[in-house]
Structures are given as structure tokens and as C-alpha cells.
DNA sequence: CACGGGCTCTGACAAAAGTCAAATAGTCTT
DNA sequence: AAGACTATTTGACTTTTGTCAGAGCCCGTG
């Protein structure tokens, strides 16, 4: 694409204002335009990510609980979204924190795998605009026409759009009606190639799904409430990228999983930074399973969840090296 | 260090204002402080790098010349600082561009090697403040008590300070009076260990020195004007991290180099991102040598230098694949 | 326990930035 | 080549932000 002159002005205005600290009227004089235009350009520069204003997420990582959790379960980093009285609504805040952390974790030229779910969609929705050329956003799981329109491809596309990154969608359904068909589809070169690129990701973004009757997979029609109930009785504990895992975080041996087209769990585990974001208080058990399964290296949760998680894990895992 | 409550307020104010887009009076209400305090906190948040405002350096990379150079000599990226009439002073602008590019190129947890010279010092001087925890800044060459006070350790320290990164200084002189002593000092565990970490750097920042009578090495007393002249006649073309290189960018076989304590040229070459910044118009020949020697993967130069470089190189190197 | 010294905080004012309706330029269509 | 439509630009206005001198507060010290 050739260089559009409009973009040049946008860049110049942003550079002079933000990097040089000129006032808007100085920029206007410099570029021979009106100050109002400068203000407009600057807004667009912010909106398109030419200018990136990032606030350190340190605030959320600087929490005693966060440190304890890091020590207790050996995670790289934990961010705690506070729930105290005059804090903001933690449920609304979490995606914002997650988006900021996400931006901090992507490096130039990185490859990011994005899964699907309500949480991920909300994160996409508040993702700031940035100019991350060279970044690729790939979809971690197949598609599912959801009634709530949180389609997997939408999550990927939206994030890629906001980051000025390349988005690679996955043109396969998440669940097929037969194991045979799923197997055959996975053999297709297009699909196979895409699945093969997933271990190259440097960062993964997902949540863990629950296995209740009102869980996402059930609501979207991938499983009936009965099937889900049966899976629960058979030892299921959560859902990762559309696939059901047991209490130890291992892939369940079940029809549903065999009918799924999604990133292989081992591929996901091999991604260096695995960002797990959990909003719902009910997801303690799924989260424990996901952590045991090695699906989280970076965790973003509420303070109450952090406390419960710490209680829950301090018994079953090594007590860690912290004081 | 424990968490200081003041910092918490700083972080909170910055978060609410910049990430949530609250107005200052809303932030003030939220935190139960006066609006003026909020304004003050926000300034401090910007100054300390809690908030990072970065402008894309795309503007300087989006240049036809830059593309041509990238094609012609196979560099990863070239940034051109324009010199047209109503642009800013290119000499003053270059360090600013370099600092912005530098910030774009460092990844979280990266290790950065910083060499020494007037240019590097100026870059340090305009480096924005940022909160890059986990980054380490290492000194690439030994120290030299310069009359102009651009000491190598100052460059490293200043950059580390501004980035909230760890700075590792190199406690050895750049040049010793005898080859024997230099050799012995290089064997010292402390020195050896530090030199050994240089290939682990992900990013290097330096310029190339000239070999004139008024070059930096001469001014700082590392070499006399006569010695430098002799080196020039023997085929010297430039200086990299205190060491003299020939026209092909290879280490000169000379006493001075053997008396130097500095990063091994091969170590430098093995750093993935090698950011070379050249301000002075007279440094065409040193730059050509540095490029031939593989010391630049990312180049920041003026438009006129770019043109001359392109002319100079199109004859001696493969014409490249560009149109 | 009174006394600095160094902070932070406050209220009011000045400066800068955001916004909007109307005018203008540019572009594509017929 | 005129017309219709969209996107940009502008000047005037409002809102928001930066700043500063003085008040208040905390903490260690004599």
C-alpha cells in the first residue's frame, strides 16, 4: 500500500504533539492547519493506535495476594482485580485489565492465539487501538454460530483489527456431528496447516469454560445440558478452547472432544505465555483444573477468586518457597 | 521493596484517567482528593513511566528512501530523519527518533547492550521514562574518563534509570596501557562473566565512530591524532564500541584493539537487533564499513546520508530485489 | 513538646484542549 | 460537466486541564 498523505499528517501531528510536547496551536502553525484540525488529527491518531497511551498494570500485580499465588503455584505473573468498596465494578474492570496486560505481553512480530468465549469477547471489546505491525492473531478453535454472537472468528478479527495486526481465521466448525467427519476435516491441508502454526504462538489469550447446564458450550448448542451433565459425572471439570478437560487438566476421552476442531491441548501448553482470564466467581473448579493442566502462565482474576484459589491450592500443591 | 502507598495512588489515578478515560475531577472524586492533586499525580505518573505515551515511528520508516535502502542492503528496518525546510533540526531530531525506535524495539524482559559516544549519550538524554521491569541494560564497552563527560557508564546508567530497568556497568577501562594487562584483565572472572552475557542481548544500541583527528577516541585520549592517522593509512574505517574496524567491517589487527576491553565484535554481531544511529554527515565511510561488517540491522540516519549511502552501496553490493 | 523541614493538598485563575455547526474542498456518478 | 454526496476544515464557544502561592500535615529532632 502506498503512503497516504493524510496518514502522514496524522503521524506528524502526533509526533510533534506527543513526542515533542508542542502545544496544539504550535503544531497547527507548524503544519499550516487550524488548531481544531490538529485536535481532530490527534484524536484519530489515538483511535488508530498511531499514538499509544499505556498505563502500567503494575497496580494489579502489586498485590500481596498476587505474590502469594505466584509463589504457591509457580505462575509467571498474577494480576488481581480488586473488589473493595469504592473500586470499579470488578466484572467490568477485568476485561480492561486483561486488555492492558495483553498489550504489555505482546512483543513486536509476535504471534497470538485467541480462543473464544464471553470473556475473550469482552476483552476484544475494550482492547485499545495500537499499531502493532508484524503481529499475527490466530484463532485457536473452530467456529460456532452462537446465538449471542460471540463467534470465535469475531474475537480474533476484532482484536486483529484493533492492533493493526493480521488476523487469521479458522474456517471450520468447532464441533461436527460425527467423529469421522471431524477426523477427516482435521486431515484437510488447510486446516492441518493452520493447526500446525499454533505452537509458534508466543502468547495465548483465553478463559476457562464451566461445565454447568448454562455454560457457554451448552448455550451455543455444541452440547445438550444432559450431555454436559454426563460429562461432569464422568469427571469433566472445565473447557479449554472448546474442549472438555478433567480435574487434572487432561483432555477427556469423550465423543465431544473427538468431534471438535480446535487447537491441540499440547500445542496450547507449548505456547510460552498463556494468559488466562477468569471473570466468574463460579469458575473456581474449572480454573483449578486449567492450572493443573498447565494452561496458565499469566493469570488475571478477582481478589475473591484469588483468595479461594490460594485456599484451594495450598492443600493440594507444594506449598511454594514464599515466606 | 514494599509497596509504597503513594505509588498506589499514582497508579490508580493514572489508570482511571488514561485507561478509563475519566476526567480529572471524576478521578479526584473517586479517590477523594482534590482535582489539582490529580493533575499533579498524573504528571508524576507520566514522568516516572507509569503511563507511557508512545508515538509510532512509522512516519520515519514510511519513506521511499528507507524502503530502497532496506531492499538494497537487506536491513530489517531503516528510519529516515527528514531534513526538509520546515522540518525540525535533523541533528536534534535524530536522538528523539532513535529513542522512540529503541523503546519500540525492546521487548519485556529483554537485555539491551549500550555502547558509547556522543550520539548514544544524546539518545539517553531524550529517552522517555518507561516502566520496563525485567529489562537489563548492559554496557558494551569499557570506561573512559572523557573530558566531555560522555562516559560509557553514564550512558548505560541513564538509560536504565529512565526505563526502570536494571543497569549493569562494566568496571574496567576501555583502553589499557599494555596489551598484556588488557589480556590479563579480560581473564578476570568478573570481566569475563560480563563479556559472556553480551551475546544474550536482544538489542544493541550504538553509533559508529569516525577516524579523523577530532574523532571521539582521540578527543578522549585513547589514541593520539598520529596513531589514528597511522591506523587510517593502514586501512581503518571506523570505530565500533571503542574498537577500530577496517573498510570491510573487520577488527583491525592493531595494538589499540588488543589493548581494548570491550564487547567482542562477534558477540555484537550475534545480537539479533543491532540499532545503529548516525548523526554526522561525515560518517559515510565509517557507516559503510559498519554495515559491511554486519553491525546494523536497524538503521537511523538523515535523508541526505540515506541518499549518499544508497549511491555508495548500489555500486559495491548486490542491487537488491526491489523495483 | 515545640520547632523546623519537607512533603502533600487546596482553591482560584490562566491556559489549553475539546466540540460543534457551518463552510469548503474533493470525488464519484450520471 | 453539473450535481450529489462525503469528508475535511474552520472559527467560535465551552469544558477541561495546568499552575501556583499559601495552608495544612506528618515526622524526626533538639
d(CA B247, CA B288): 8
Q: Does B202 reach chain A within 8 Å, measured CB to CB?
A: no
Q: Rg of chain A over CA atoms, in angstroms?
A: 22
Give the closest residue to C18 (Cα–C1′): A39
Coil/strand/helix, residue B10: helix
d(CA B137, CA B123): 14
- Kindly list the residues from chain A whose CB atom is less than 8 angstroms away from the CB atom of residue B54: 18, 51-54
The answer to whether A80 touches A65, Cβ cutoff 8 Å, is yes
Residue A96 Cα distances to A102, B9, B195, angstroms: 10, 19, 42
Q: Cell for B63?
A: 519513506
d(CA A281, CA A275): 18
Q: What percent of chain B has pLDDT over 70?
A: 92
Phi-psi region of B261 (alpha: psi -120 to 50; beta: other; left: phi over 0): beta
Calculate the CA B150 to chain-centre distance: 13
> Quick one: pLDDT at residue B245?
96
Nearest residue to B104 (alpha-carbon basis) of A108, A128, A134: A108
Across B69-76, average pLDDT:
85
Give the closest residue to D15 (Cα–C1′): B23
What is the distance in angstroms between the Cα of A312 and the nearest Cα belonging to chain B?
26
> Quick one: pLDDT at residue A148?
61
Nearest residue to A173 (alpha-carbon basis) of A145, A142, A139, A140: A142
**pLDDT tens, position by position, B173-183:** 888 888 999 99
> Quick one: pLDDT at residue B320?
41
Q: Which of A50, A54, A133 sits opposite B52 (nearest CB)?
A: A54
The three-point CA angle B272-B104-A16 to 5° equals: 145
Across B6-33, average pLDDT:
83
Q: Which residues contact A184 (CB under 8 A, 6 or more apart)?
A: none
The three-point CA angle B224-B225-B230 to 5° equals: 100
Q: Distance, angstroms, CA A128 to C1' C29?
A: 38
Q: What percent of chain B has pLDDT over 90?
A: 41
d(CA A63, CA B162): 24
Give the lowest-confidence range in A163-172, A268-277, B146-155, B214-223. Answer: B146-155
Residue with cell 476526567: B23
Contact flag B8-A62 (C-beta cutoff 8 Å): yes
Q: Which long-range contacts (CB under 8 A, 24 or more apart) does B311-315 make?
A: B312/B284, B312/B288, B313/B72, B313/B73, B313/B288, B314/B72
- Kindly list the residues from chain A whose CB atom is less than 8 angstroms away from the CB atom of residue B62: 3, 7-8, 11
Exposure letters A182-206 (e unless 16+ CB within 10 A, then b): beebbeeeebeebbeebbebbbbbb
- Kindly list the residues from chain A whose CB atom is less than 8 angstroms away from the CB atom of residue B80: none
Smallest CA–CA distance from A48 into chain B, residue: B56
- Residue B100: its H or E element: helix B90-105
A84 vs B292 pLDDT, higher one: B292
Q: Which of A50, A96, A105 sits opposite B56 (nearest CB)?
A: A50
Minimum-distance nucleotide, CA of B41 to C1': C8
pLDDT at residue B29 greater than cutoff 90 = no
d(CA A204, CA A274): 5
- Kindly list the residues from chain B whose CB atom is less than 8 angstroms away from the CB atom of residue A12: 59
Contact flag A55-B15 (C-beta cutoff 8 Å): yes
> Quick one: pLDDT at residue B120?
93
> Quick one: pLDDT at residue B47?
82
Number of Cβ within a 10 Å radius of residue B244: 27
Exposure letters A245-272 (e unless 16+ CB within 10 A, then b): bbeebebbebebbbbbbbbbbebbbebe
Coil/strand/helix, residue B29: helix
Contact flag B15-A59 (C-beta cutoff 8 Å): yes
Best residue of A26, A55, A298 to probe chain B, by most B CBs closer than 10 Å:
A55
Give the lowest-confidence range in A220-234, B135-149, B253-267. Answer: B135-149
The three-point CA angle B191-B194-B200 to 5° equals: 155
Q: How confident is the model at residue B76 (pLDDT cuts 50, 70, 90)?
A: confident
Contact flag A56-B131 (C-beta cutoff 8 Å): yes
Q: Does B8 reach chain A within 8 Å, measured CB to CB?
A: yes
Smallest CA–CA distance from A55 into chain B, residue: B51
Q: Rg of chain B over CA atoms, in angstroms?
A: 22
Contact flag A52-B56 (C-beta cutoff 8 Å): yes
Contact flag B131-A58 (C-beta cutoff 8 Å): yes
Residues with CB under 7 A from strand D: A 6, 9, 33-37, 40-41; B 17, 23-25, 35-36, 39-40, 42-43
pLDDT at residue B32 greater than cutoff 90 = no
> Quick one: pLDDT at residue B53?
87
> Quick one: pLDDT at residue A3?
39
The three-point CA angle B124-B144-B152 to 5° equals: 20
d(CA B152, CA B167): 12
d(CA A119, CA A151): 12
- Kindly list the residues from chain B whose CB atom is less than 8 angstroms away from the CB atom of residue A14: 55-56
Q: Cell for B304?
A: 541526505
Residue with cell 527528514: B82
Coil/strand/helix, residue A51: strand
Minimum-distance nucleotide, CA of A32 to C1': D9
Q: Which residues contact B263 (CB under 8 A, 6 or more apart)?
A: B113, B115, B140, B141, B195, B198, B241
> Quick one: pLDDT at residue A1?
35
- Kindly list the residues from chain B whose CB atom is less than 8 angstroms away from the CB atom of residue A55: 11, 14-15, 18-19, 45, 50-52
Residue B290 Cα distances to A181, B95, B274, B277, B297, angstroms: 58, 19, 11, 11, 11
> Quick one: pLDDT at residue A85?
53
Per-residue pLDDT of chain A (323 residues; tens, 9 = 90+): 333 455 678 888 888 888 888 888 888 888 888 888 888 888 888 888 888 888 888 888 877 888 888 888 888 889 998 876 556 677 788 999 999 999 989 877 789 999 988 899 999 988 988 888 889 999 999 888 666 667 888 889 889 988 889 889 888 888 888 899 999 999 888 889 889 999 999 999 999 999 998 888 888 888 899 999 999 999 999 999 999 999 999 999 999 999 999 999 999 999 999 999 999 999 999 999 999 999 999 999 998 999 999 888 776 554 444 33
Q: Does B87 reach chain A within 8 Å, measured CB to CB?
A: no
Q: Which nucleotides of D are covered by protein (CB under 7 A)?
A: 8-12, 16-20
User: pTM of the full predicted structure?
Assistant: 0.83
Minimum-distance nucleotide, CA of B46 to C1': D18
> Quick one: pLDDT at residue A70?
87
d(CA B316, CA B25): 63
Residue A272 forms beta bridges with which residues? none
Number of Cβ within a 10 Å radius of residue A166: 14
Q: How does DSSP classify residue A296?
A: -
Residue with cell 559498519: B290
d(CA A194, CA A171): 10
Q: Does B12 reach chain A within 8 Å, measured CB to CB?
A: yes
Nearest residue to A203 (alpha-carbon basis) of A150, A159, A252: A159
What count of CB pairs under 8 Å joins A to B?
89
Across B125-140, average pLDDT:
88
Contact flag A55-B18 (C-beta cutoff 8 Å): yes
Interface of A with B in 92-151 (CB under 8 A): 96, 100, 104-105, 107-108, 131, 133
What is the distance in angstroms between the Cα of B273 and the nearest Cα belonging to chain A?
12
> Quick one: pLDDT at residue B86?
55
> Quick one: pLDDT at residue A40?
86
Amino acid at each position: 500500500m502506498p503512503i497516504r498523505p493524510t496518514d502522514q499528517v496524522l503521524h506528524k501531528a502526533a509526533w510533534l504533539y506527543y513526542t515533542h510536547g508542542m502545544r496544539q496551536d504550535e503544531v497547527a502553525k507548524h503544519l499550516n492547519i487550524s488548531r481544531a484540525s490538529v485536535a481532530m488529527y490527534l484524536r484519530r491518531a489515538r483511535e488508530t493506535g498511531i499514538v499509544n497511551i499505556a498505563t502500567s498494570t503494575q497496580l494489579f500485580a502489586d498485590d500481596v495476594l498476587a505474590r502469594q499465588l505466584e509463589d504457591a503455584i509457580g505462575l509467571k505473573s498474577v494480576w488481581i482485580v480488586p473488589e473493595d468498596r469504592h473500586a470499579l465494578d470488578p466484572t467490568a474492570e477485568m476485561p480492561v485489565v486483561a486488555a492492558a496486560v495483553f498489550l504489555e505481553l505482546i512483543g513486536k512480530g509476535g504471534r497470538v492465539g485467541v480462543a473464544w468465549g464471553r470473556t475473550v469477547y469482552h476483552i476484544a471489546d475494550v482492547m485499545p487501538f495500537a499499531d502493532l505491525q508484524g503481529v499475527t492473531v490466530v484463532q485457536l478453535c473452530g467456529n460456532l454460530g452462537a446465538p449471542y454472537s460471540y463467534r470465535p472468528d469475531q474475537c480474533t478479527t476484532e482484536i486483529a483489527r484493533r492492533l493493526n495486526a493480521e488476523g487469521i481465521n479458522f474456517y471450520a466448525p468447532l464441533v461436527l456431528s460425527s467423529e469421522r467427519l471431524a477426523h477427516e476435516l482435521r486431515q484437510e491441508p488447510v486446516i492441518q496447516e493452520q493447526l500446525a502454526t499454533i505452537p509458534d504462538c508466543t502468547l495465548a489469550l483465553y478463559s476457562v469454560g464451566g461445565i454447568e447446564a448454562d455454560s457457554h458450550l451448552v448455550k451455543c448448542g455444541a452440547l445438550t445440558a444432559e450431555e454436559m451433565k454426563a460429562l461432569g459425572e464422568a469427571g469433566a471439570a472445565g473447557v479449554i478452547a472448546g474442549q472438555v478437560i478433567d480435574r487434572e487438566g487432561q483432555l477427556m476421552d469423550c465423543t465431544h472432544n473427538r468431534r471438535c476442531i480446535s487447537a491441540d491441548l499440547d500445542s496450547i501448553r507449548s505456547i510460552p505465555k498463556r494468559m488466562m482470564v477468569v471473570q466468574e466467581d463460579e469458575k473456581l473448579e474449572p480454573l483449578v483444573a486449567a492450572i493443573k493442566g498447565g494452561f496458565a502462565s499469566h493469570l488475571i482474576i478477582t481478589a475473591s477468586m484469588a483468595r479461594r484459589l490460594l485456599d484451594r491450592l495450598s492443600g493440594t500443591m507444594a506449598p511454594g518457597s514464599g515466606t
